[in-house]
């Protein structure tokens, strides 16, 4: 009787852990393929803040965002 309960509890724990890591991997791949911000959005945000962004500044900020996403 206790063996069935123990196997059930272990199965639930393994299922939760496996589900978490599969979901995490899926979301990381999804975010790499579909980044939440792109150059056009960044340019609009900077213009709304009163800045006139140069392409160099846009590239620097995109590189910083991508580096942060890779970590």
Lowest-confidence pick of 6-10, 26-30, 63-67: 63-67
Residue-wise pLDDT for 17-61, tens only, equals 999 999 999 998 998 888 788 888 989 999 999 988 899 999 999
Higher pLDDT, 69 or 5: 5
- Domain residue limits at 6: 1-34
Helices (H), the chain: 2-33, 39-48, 55-70
Task: For residues 25 and 1, state if they share a domain.
Answer: yes
Task: For residues 2 and 29, state if they share a domain.
Answer: yes
Q: What is the pTM of this model?
A: 0.56
Task: For residues 27 and 12, state if they share a domain.
Answer: yes
């Amino acid at each position: 009787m206790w063996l069935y309960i123990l196997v059930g509890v272990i199965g639930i724990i393994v299922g939760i852990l496996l589900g978490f890591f599969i979901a995490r991997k899926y979301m990381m791949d999804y975010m790499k393929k579909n980044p939440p911000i792109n150059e056009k959005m960044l340019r609009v945000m900077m213009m709304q803040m009163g800045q006139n962004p140069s392409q160099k500044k846009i590239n620097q900020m995109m590189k910083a965002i991508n580096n942060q996403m890779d970590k």
